[in-house]
Chain A
Amino acid sequence: MDASMEVRQFNWHDRRAQLARYGKSLGPWAIALQSLVVLFLVFGMVLLALELPIGWVVFGLAAVPAMIVQWYYGELQDVPVDMAQRSIHARAQAELLSHLSKRPTPKELALSLMHVNGGHFFEVRFGIGGSFLKEVASDSPEDTSAIFEEALKIADSIDGVVSPGALILAMVRQLPARDTLLGHLQLSEDDIHLGIEWYHHLLASIKSGARFSKQPGGIGRDWSFGWIPNLSRFGDNLSQSGTMAREGIRSQAVQQLMSGLDNGGGVVALVGKDGVGKTELVYEVAAKLMHPDSSIPKELWYQQVFMLDATRLLSVTSEKGGLETLVNNLLGEAFAAKNIIICLDNAELFFEEGVGSVDLTPLLLPIIEAGRLRMILTLNEQKFLQISKRTPALASALNRITVEPADEQTTLKVLEEHLPVLEHKRKVTYMYQSLKEAYRLSQRYVYDVAMPGQAISLLTQAAEFSANGLVTVQSVNDAIEQLTGVKTAAASEDSERETLLNLETLIHRRMIGQERAVSVVSDALRRARSGVRNVNRPVGTFLFLGPTGVGKTELAKSLAAVYFGGEKNIIRLDMNEFVSPDDVSRLIADGADDPSSLTAQVMKQPFSVVLFDEIEKAHSSVLTTLLQLLDEGILRDVRNREVSFRDAVVIATSNAGADRIQEYLSRGYSLQQFEETFINELISSHIFHPEFLNRFDEMVVFGPLGKAQLLQVIDLILTDINKNLVEQKITVVVAQDAKEYLVEAGYDVRLGARPMRRIVQRAVENTVAKLLLANQVTPGGTIEITKQQVQEILSTKQQADSIIATNSKNV
């Protein structure tokens, strides 16, 4: 057998494989054997006490189970991997090895995976494991060697150990339909690879956890340092808290912080957005100082980090003088002790007056400037700038370290570290896919917090939506949907599918005509919900052009009502209120200052229809601001936060060129014939810049409604009126000739169908009111309104004109 074949073949008789099998067999008997040892010893002693020499034999026999128990715990329980050799029997984890037969088939490998911890880990966390693989794996032992070879390659890229994860990935790679499988599980091969690393890290953590002594540095470690009764009372000793941070994730920042502290008692400011993990970094450093290695400067060994909490200190003494004395004592104690690093978490609370904060600048500034007491300050970026502006001396005395938001890989690792605590608290189990989804969605929808805090906060909330204790992608989607109202997953429910497929019909129940516009909007939404759209843009961006009263705004409202959960989910901005360059600031104002700003509204309600009414009236600066929104689905607010419009349908309406449309139509052109020419005219007339118009997915010209369509509009209006009369149990029916009269009276060339509702409402409601007062109609009855009655109400055309005039003033 050549060397490569030996690598691929499993040697059942190999010593390691044999030991692994012994371990598997002895596992269930370990406790029984221990009991047997005790039993032999006690029984032997009793016999000897009774002066029966047979007791010696019993006593001596106790050595046999005792040796076996020692062997089991010393070697067989986890037979060490033999890294000197490269074969499956040398490198596979013993638990896995113990399940293999002489000539294992891929199916048998899959079955083995169902009985080992690593297999369960992948089954639960990734949704892929033995139970699935046994269904698709082959029965031929010939196929196994390729899997082993692949598993060894995977192991080589990690730490050389073939764990169940490596075997799973190797088996997946051998599947012809692996892409379909991984796609279905929303996983990639890289994800499984990261999962193997995660599993190995967990095993290593469990092993190393037992190694740390409770008093590193010895019993007399702190005896030469000062007594710190007050600090122990008012501060939190982070050195005793441990850390969830994984070694090496942010080694650069940790190293920077160490160097900052090492510089003769330096004061370090960790500056970064909320949620980037500044405090976690301090915990990590505190833990490292308690278990120092050669990379840590000797001066910092066993230094203890005490965190001071402004709120806690304020609760002790509300008077500023008293607080100053207390903080002074605490810092004095820390200085005298010589082994204390003070951490001021959310340090801004110590440098400004406010609720839960106090300005101790006069006290702290000289101490920080002197730099004789090691301190760490954690500060929000914004607050740091504010404090620097107010007290420049403070900023220059601080050794600033910027903590950047974590990227996806780092965030996932941080989340993995947080899972044990989260899962213990919430009594749930998180799937790996849910971590990825939490990263993706929180990055888009969770504002004011940076990574990894963003993802942690979403993941915490997703626990509420777990299914049978398992937090899945769906749980994270549900959490974000409830938080923001955004539909994040692809359309899956039957009712939603029905709505999407029949969107045109549903919209036409609310508005008449404009088939092309309805169709392009419906198509855009279907593309978005089936997952085939560009996710880095809004769902759809449309410019509706046409005269007043032809249904441009109505279409936006109908869309919001039919699909976005009601007309309230429309964010409408009348652009005639944004006519100066200064109005840009109102568009992107912070929600705390102006809750009606565009960015604030979309932050609260990202899944909505955004309607820019009469866009041609907006100032060109405003239109320029909107360019990035239309192009990338992003708008930055005044605080430079990226607000996502990628779940919104953006609709702009304009009356620009309405006269030209009328002109084209009066000359007998159809909409399709002049649409392109008309848009070119708009560009050349400089009403809109070409770069602005080019940003829209579709520009749709709305034509005036014909008489037949107007009659349908009247029917819609009547349906609304009848809805209002439901309480009186009265139904109104309007005769056909009366409807035609209403069309005549209500239609205006300039205002389109807009005056129609008022005319119809006035004519019908007035008639009903008169009949009700005259007791000519009883509940349960039907009122048929004739042309004559309508004529009486709208007796003259002048009355109708006056109504129109009122309307036109309002337009």
Chain B
Amino acid sequence: MFLVGLISWWYGRGWVAQWRRLVGQFKATLDFFSVGQLAATLFAPFRQISASGGSDSSFGGQMRALVDKLISRIIGAIVRFFTILIGLVVISLQAVYGAVILLFWWLVPLLPVAGCIIFALGWMPAWK
């Protein structure tokens, strides 16, 4: 009875729960990197690091503010670009990891049998 319960959970509710858990983790990663938001604000100034040129209306002041803002935007673009890049790599890796886990999940109950078969075959990996 116990074994039946275990196997039926493993291939039913257990697998679904595992799927949900991985999806949850995946969503959290997506949320953490917020690639969409980073892409939308790619050229926005980074943390508004810019001269407070608003009150200085001279040409020099305006120019300084423009240059500051430009630098801020360039820094923002670089930081965001690399974050997007890292994010995409992490998200891809996580997707692969999730897929592997979900596939491997199906195989786990077979491992004892597989172990016995390999043992019976006497196969050993070549270490050298």
* Interface, chain A (partner B; CB < 8 A): 18-19, 22, 48-49, 51, 53-54, 56-64, 66-68, 70-71, 74-75, 213, 215-227, 336-338
Q: Do residues A60 and B47 form an inter-chain contact, with CB atoms below 8 A?
A: no
Q: Give the distance in Å from the alpha carbon of A647 to the alpha carbon of B22 in the complex.
A: 64
* Contacting pair B49 A60 (CB below 8 A): no
Q: Which residue of the partner chain, among A22, A66, A227, contacts B108 with CB atoms under 8 Å? A: A66
Stretch in contact with the other chain, from B25-33, B58-66, B92-100: B25-33
Residues of B within 8 A of A66 (CB): 108
Complex CA gap A71/B15 in Å reads 10
Write the nearest CB–CB distance from A378 to chain B, whole angstroms: 28
Collect the chain A residues with CB atoms within 8 Å of residue B123's CB: 53, 56
Chain A neighbourhood of B46, CB < 8 A: 223-224
CB proximity of A38 to chain B, nearest CB, Å: 15
- The answer to whether residues A74 and B119 also contact, given A66-B108, A219-B32, A221-B34 and a CB cut-off of 8 A, is no
Question: A219 contacts which chain B residues (CB < 8 A)?
Answer: 32-34, 83
Q: How far is the CA of A227 from the CA of B75 in the complex (A)?
A: 14
For B115, the chain A residues whose CB sits under 8 A away are 56-61
9 closest A-B pairs by beta carbon, nearest first, are: A60-B115, A218-B34, A63-B111, A226-B48, A56-B118, A60-B112, A56-B115, A227-B47, A60-B111
Known: A71-B6, A75-B13. Contact between A224 and B44, CB under 8 A? yes
Chain B 91-123 interface mask (CB, 8 Å, partner A; 1/0):
000000000000000001101111110110111
A18 near B119: Cβ-Cβ < 8 Å: no
Instruction: Determine the chain A residues whose CB is within 8 A of the CB of B13 once the complex forms.
Output: 74-75
Min C-beta distance of A298 to chain B, whole Å: 13
Determine the main DSSP class of B at the interface with A: helix
Q: In the assembled complex, which residues on chain B have CB atoms less than 8 Å from the CB atom of A226?
A: 47-48
B108 close to A213 (CB less than 8 A): no
Residues of B within 8 Å of A48, CB to CB, are 124-125
- Residues in chain B near residue A18, CB distance under 8 A: 1, 5
Residue of A48, A53, A60, A70 with highest tally of chain B CB at under 10 A: A60
Give chain B residues whose Cβ lies under 8 Å from the Cβ of A221.
34, 37
Q: A56-B123, A223-B44 are in contact. List 7 more A-B contacts (CB 8 A).
A: A53-B121, A59-B111, A71-B5, A216-B31, A218-B31, A224-B76, A227-B47
CA distance A56 to B49 in the complex (A): 60
Contact A54 B9 (CB under 8 A): no
Q: Is B28 a contact of A220 with CB atoms below 8 Å?
A: no
Q: Cβ of B9: which chain A residues have Cβ within 8 Å of it?
A: 71, 74-75
A19 to B48, CA, bound (A): 57
| Interface residues in chain B, defined as those with a beta carbon under 8 Å from any beta carbon in chain A | 1-2, 5-6, 9-10, 13-14, 17-18, 28, 31-34, 37-38, 41, 44-49, 52, 76, 79-80, 83, 108-109, 111-116, 118-119, 121-125, 127
Nearest-neighbour CB distance to chain A for B22, whole angstroms, equals 13
B122 to chain A: which residues have CB within 8 Å?
Answer: 53
Cα–Cα distance between A215 and B114 once the two chains are bound (Å): 43
Residues of B within 8 A of A220 (CB): 33-34, 37-38, 41, 80, 83
Given contacts A56-B119, A57-B119, is CB(A224)–CB(B45) below 8 Å? Answer: yes
CB of B32 within 8 A of CB of A213, answer: yes
User: In the complex, which residues of chain B have a beta carbon less than 8 angstroms from the beta carbon of A225?
Assistant: 47-48
Give, as a whole number of angstroms, the nearest-CB distance from B11 to chain A: 11
In the complex, the answer to whether A336 meets B48 with C-beta atoms within 8 Å is yes
Contact residues in A for B5 (Cβ distance below 8 Å): 18-19, 22, 71
Asked whether A215 and B32 contact (CB < 8 A) given A226-B47, A227-B48, the answer is: yes
How many Å lie between the Cα of A61 and that of B125 in the bound state?
19
Q: How far is the CA of A217 from the CA of B33 in the complex (A)?
A: 9
Partner pick for A60 among B34, B44, B83, B113, CB 8 A cutoff: B113
Q: Which residues of B contact A22 (CB under 8 A)?
A: 2, 5
Q: Given A75-B9, A219-B34, is A64 in contact with B124 using a C-beta cutoff of 8 Å?
A: no
Return the contact of B17 from the options A57, A75, A215 (Cβ within 8 A).
A75
Inter-chain CA distance A128–B46, complex, in Å, is 60
A218 lies within 8 A of B33 (CB): yes
Minimal Cβ-Cβ distance residue in A for B49? A227
| Residues of chain B contacted by A51 (CB below 8 angstroms) | 124, 127
B34 A53 Cβ-Cβ under 8 A = no
Contacts of B2 in A (CB 8 A): 22
Which of A71, A213, A223 is the one whose CB lies under 8 Å from B28? A213
